[in-house]
Structure 1
Amino acid sequence: MGILDAAFDSIGGVLADQWKDIVTAAPFDEHTIVSPGIRKNAQNGRGGNFGAEDILSNGSIIFVPENTAAFVFSQAGIEQVITTPGGFEYRDGEASVFDERDRREKGLGKILLGQAADRIGFSGMSQDEKRVAFVNLREIRGLKFGTRGPLAYNDLFYGTDLEIYSYGSFTVAVCDAERFVRNFVPANVTSYTLDDPRARGQLLSEFLNSYIAAVNSLSVDYRVSQLPSQTNEIAASIAAEDENAGTWPERFGLKLVAVAIENIEFSEQSRELVRQFSEKKMGVRAYEDVSQRAANVAAQQMIAQGVRDNGLGDGGGMLFGMNLAQSLSPMDASAASRPTATPAPSERAATPSLDDQIEALKKLKDLLDAGILSQEEFDAKKREVLGL
């Protein structure tokens, strides 16, 4: 009875599996990276293809969506990889009486009887096994990360190591579908998602190691508050690394696409250090403002006294002192290099420098003291020199 049962099972299985299949991908969610192929059994109440799920007949159609790669697996592993979107006619399956080429080459009797005879020896089962799976080639977004402990960041602005916690997300994409299936996806798996902690755990650990190294490499050039704007540089630094996430393309056929830093928090100790630093800096700035104003007044007084000592009188000393002080640096009483409006050529020629004015007035004072000039002549010449 066993042989007869196997014979009937073989014939029934052969007839059921003659139907050609229409295979497409099961729905992908945001983190699905491998989705199984599903067979269309009915349409609008028509059809009834209920053959074995692991049998593909010649002439079956595999629909490959955009940004996916279709894999056909046999018992030994990957048989075919299809990366071109559209409908693909499969030709390496079991012969079908509904396929014109098979009928022409083998005939109906050989197809049916040959397959039935092959199956009897396996108790009605087919030795042929084919499965279809689809790999998502789009970016897998929103993979959250967070530093498990404080990250030491040597901020040169504060001149110390600050402890920070960093949170964000990163994006990956399959760059080599065949390598990804062979090296990352477990064997005999046609459905895989990065929501599975076992799938995501290794990626997350390696990413964090690379992320910490990349962030620390930026401390020479960037303050900790500037890190969120340097995500592209962080991603590039991780991709160029020789370890951890930098090796994903060669190891897994997977690449890091982008990193987004959502938040950076100080530890309590580092927050207190930053607060103390800010308070001290504000105090120093206020002191510098007061010192600058005091130095400016002192410079004006010193210059005015110097002019008076050269015999120009109290009024002239104050006038020269105020004008000269405005053109000097209050810290060292030297000429300050600040931009001024460029005078017209006639003004440059008519207006002597301050040193020339002082020297001319000294000579006029000597002439007045020698009795060569009268007081009225001296006053007139002084106004001329001063441009009054």
Structure 2
Amino acid sequence: MGILNSVFDSIGGTFADQWKDIIVPGSFDEQTVVAPGIRRSGQDGRGSNYGNSGVLSNGSIIQVPEGTAGFIYSRSGIERVISEPGGYEYRDGQLSVFDAQDRTENGLGEIFMGQIGERIGFSGMTPDEKRVCFVNLREIRGVKFGTRGPLAYNDLFYGTDLEVHSFGSIALQIADPVVFMRDFVPAGTYSYSLASPQAREQLIAEFLHSFIGALNRLSKTYRISQLPSQGSAIVDAIMSDGGNAATWEKRFGLKLTSVAIESIDFSDASRELVRRYSEKKMDVSAYEGISEHAANVAAQQKIAEGIRDKGLGDAGGMLFGMNLANGLDPRNASQATGAAAQAPATSGSTPAPPAPAPDLDAQIETLKKLKELLDAGILSQEEFDAKKNQVLGL
């Protein structure tokens, strides 16, 4: 009775599997990396292919969409990879009476009797099994990550290690689909998504290890508040490390394409440390600003007073105060005016030519003499102005 059942099953299975198939990908979402190939069983109410899902007949069409690679599996493993988009006609499957080439080369009798005889020995089943799946070659975005505990970030701006929590997402892309299917996807799996925590657990663990190292290398260049805008720099730092995430392309055929940091938050202790640092810096800046302003005012006053005391009056004080306050370093003003107060006054009927680099006393004395010559009518106003500009270096 079992043999008869096997015969009937073999005949029924042979007839059912004669149909040529149209294989299309199953549904893809944003994080699907592998989708199974499914048989299109109907179109506009027509079609009813109920053959074995593991049988591909000659002449079947495998439709490979843009951005995917089609994989055909036999019992021995990967049989063929279709990397070009379009419709691919399969010719290494079971003979089909609906395929013109098979009918011409083998005839109807050989097609039917050969398959029925083969199936009887396997209790009505065919030993030939083919599977089709599709690998997503597009960028896979939105793979979330988050630090379970605080990360140590050596911020050179603050000069200390800070503890931070970081959250964000990464984007990945399959660079070598064959390596990916052989070394990353579990054997015998034709549907796989990184939306599953189990699927991305190892990736996220290795990424975080690389992420921590990259952040600390970037601390020499960026303050921690600048890191959310440095996604490309983080990827470059991770890839230059040579370990963990940088090895994915060679190990898994998978590469890291981008990192998006959604937030970096201080731990409570680090937040308090930064707050105290900022307050102290603001206090120091305010004190330095007040001190500098006071020093400048005092220097200008000393210069004006020194010139006025030399006998040129208030107008001379204003003139020299404005000119010399711009030319002298306020921090050295007290020294300059002190030296001027101690220098003895010179006298003579005819002033000697000014030295190449006259000091303040010499300038004042020369201008007093020039003013006397102007008042006596010896110098014209134009000559006085010219000599005055020469003395002042204008």
Asked if these proteins are the same fold (TM beyond 0.5), I'd say yes
Residues 218-237 of structure 1: pairs in structure 2 closer than 5 A: 218-237=218-237
Inter-partner Cα distance in structure 2 for 1:240 and 1:264: 23
Amino acid at match of 1:18: Q
Please say if residues 307 and 364 of structure 2, whose CA atoms lie closer than 8 Å, have aligned partners that are also in contact.
no
2:338 is aligned to none
2:67 is aligned to 67
How far 1:359 moved relative to its partner?
Answer: 4.4
2:124 is aligned to 124
How far 1:211 moved relative to its partner?
Answer: 0.7
Please say if residues 365 and 378 of structure 1, whose CA atoms lie closer than 8 Å, have aligned partners that are also in contact.
no
Please say if residues 69 and 137 of structure 1, whose CA atoms lie closer than 8 Å, have aligned partners that are also in contact.
yes
1:158 aligns with 2:161: no
Please say if residues 357 and 386 of structure 1, whose CA atoms lie closer than 8 Å, have aligned partners that are also in contact.
no
1:187 is aligned to 187
Inter-partner Cα distance in structure 1 for 2:370 and 2:112: 136
State the SS of the aligned residue for 2:138: coil
Amino acid at match of 1:81: V
Amino acid at match of 1:4: L
Residues 1-388 of structure 1: pairs in structure 2 closer than 5 A: 1-308=1-308, 310-313=310-313, 315-333=315-333, 359=362, 362-363=365-366, 365=368, 376-377=376-377, 384=385, 385-386=387-388
How far 1:358 moved relative to its partner?
Answer: 7.0
Inter-partner Cα distance in structure 2 for 1:205 and 1:133: 28
Q: Indicate how the Cα distance of structure 1 residues 8 and 373 shifts in structure 2: closer, same or farther if over 3 A, else same.
A: closer
Alpha-carbon deviations, 1:129-149, whole Å to 9, x = none?
A: 001001111111001111111
How far 1:193 moved relative to its partner?
Answer: 0.7
Q: CA RMSD in A?
A: 2.5
How far 1:241 moved relative to its partner?
Answer: 2.7
Amino acid at match of 2:266: F
Amino acid at match of 2:239: A
Amino acid at match of 1:266: F
Please say if residues 292 and 331 of structure 1, whose CA atoms lie closer than 8 Å, have aligned partners that are also in contact.
no
Amino acid at match of 2:61: I
Q: Relative to structure 2, which stretch is displaced further, 86-95 or 147-156?
A: 147-156
State the SS of the aligned residue for 2:331: coil
How far 1:377 moved relative to its partner?
Answer: 4.5
How far 1:326 moved relative to its partner?
Answer: 3.0
Please say if residues 66 and 85 of structure 2, whose CA atoms lie closer than 8 Å, have aligned partners that are also in contact.
yes
State the SS of the aligned residue for 1:190: coil
How far 1:332 moved relative to its partner?
Answer: 2.8
Inter-partner Cα distance in structure 2 for 1:205 and 1:128: 40
State the SS of the aligned residue for 1:107: helix
Inter-partner Cα distance in structure 1 for 2:265 and 2:273: 13
How far 1:329 moved relative to its partner?
Answer: 2.9
Please say if residues 21 and 57 of structure 1, whose CA atoms lie closer than 8 Å, have aligned partners that are also in contact.
yes
Structure 1 unmatched runs, 5+: 335-352
TM-score normalised over the length of structure 1? 0.88
TM-score normalised over the length of structure 2? 0.87
Amino acid at match of 1:52: N
Q: Indicate how the Cα distance of structure 1 residues 367 and 54 shifts in structure 2: closer, same or farther if over 3 A, else same.
A: closer
State the SS of the aligned residue for 1:7: helix
Alpha-carbon deviations, 1:113-136, whole Å to 9, x = none?
A: 011001111111000000100111
Alpha-carbon deviations, 1:10-67, whole Å to 9, x = none?
A: 1111011011000000110111111000101122222221110000000000000010
Please say if residues 302 and 333 of structure 2, whose CA atoms lie closer than 8 Å, have aligned partners that are also in contact.
no
Amino acid at match of 1:290: I
Structure 2 unmatched runs, 5+: 335-355, 390-394
Alpha-carbon deviations, 1:311-337, whole Å to 9, x = none?
A: 545552453124311333322349xxx
State the SS of the aligned residue for 2:158: coil
Please say if residues 364 and 378 of structure 1, whose CA atoms lie closer than 8 Å, have aligned partners that are also in contact.
no
How far 1:240 moved relative to its partner?
Answer: 2.8
Amino acid at match of 2:247: T
Amino acid at match of 2:4: L
Q: How many residues align?
A: 366
Amino acid at match of 2:97: V
Please say if residues 23 and 61 of structure 2, whose CA atoms lie closer than 8 Å, have aligned partners that are also in contact.
yes
